[in-house]
Amino acid sequence: MAVRPSSAPRIAFVCAATSVARAAKARLEKRYGAATTAEADVIVALGGDGLMLQALHRNMRRLKPIYGMNLGTVGFLLNTFKESGLLQRLQKARQVELTPLRMEATNTHGRTSTVLAINEVSLLRSSRQTARIEVAVDGKKRLEELHCDGVLVATPAGSTAYNLSAHGPILPLGAGLLALTPINAFRPRRWRGALLPRASRVEFTILDPKKRPVAAAADSVEIPNVARVAVTEAIDTRLTLLFDPEHDLEERILKEQFDP
């Protein structure tokens, strides 16, 4: 076990289930020491974007900064993997604060579940029939009946994920906006979504939920057979990511808008 300098942060390493990530975790713990997530000053996540989202969710109440190193594929939310110089990289890292979304989903039996989402809240049809959804923003009905495969609300950090695949807009981190994006909208045929102030309350009412069932998901947590879903920004929760100065998340999001 490596001897940790008294001024060095206590690090908890978490990793994906792959053999590569597990082996890297063992080597890094031997080199820098191993703290539990409860006692650590910083959490280092080893894997891909999925592992980073998992780490953020699991440590949401701990208020610990998370520094990710990419051992996955895209690694949009992670830094380049390198075993040496980790303490120096942590010292020089820039902080980026993210605010998740709060989903309040009520199912057809009247039970309400509250879940936080870092990337997006999405509603998806659960049968072969098109979903029919009423959309209201801040108490005002904006769409009486959206015929679609689904609809989602994305944060700026999540705007390059599922939202982008659904042809939604990419949002800079400091834009103060949320993306409301339909998924394969049939009617209104020309509706492509909306940009909303981050303080907006978006409410979805499922029309004919028994015949046309819909599931709601906050990142990877899914609630089946929903009747109503409300989405707001969870302003009482702040998540801190750490990035190398050359790995600027805002720059990466901006760059995505110019990639062919």
Contact 224, 123 (CB under 8 A): no
**Residue 147 assigned as binding residue:** yes
**Residue 149 assigned as binding residue:** yes
Cis preceding-peptide flag for 209 (omega within 30 of 0): no
**Residue 219 assigned as binding residue:** no
**Residue 107 assigned as binding residue:** no
**Residue 146 assigned as binding residue:** no
Runs of H (alpha helix) within 33-153:
49-58, 86-92
Spatial separation of the C-alpha atoms in residues 182 and 210, rounded to whole Å: 21
**Residue 199 assigned as binding residue:** no
**Residue 157 assigned as binding residue:** yes
**Residue 120 assigned as binding residue:** yes
For 54-101, the three-class secondary structure string (H helix, E strand, C coil) is: HHHHHCCCCCCCEEEEECCCCCCCCECCCCCCHHHHHHHCEEEEECCE
Q: Is 192 left (phi over 0), alpha (psi -120 to 50) or beta?
A: alpha
**Residue 162 assigned as binding residue:** yes
Active-site positions read: 49
Which three-class secondary structure state does DSSP give residue 253?
helix
**Residue 184 assigned as binding residue:** no
**Residue 158 assigned as binding residue:** no
Spatial separation of the C-alpha atoms in residues 104 and 96, rounded to whole Å: 26
Show Cβ contacts of residue 108 under 8 Å, excluding neighbours closer than 6 positions: 209, 210, 225, 226, 227
- Known binding-site residue numbers for NAD(+): 49-50, 119-120, 147, 149, 157, 160-165
- Known binding-site residue numbers: 49-50, 119-120, 147, 149, 157, 160-165
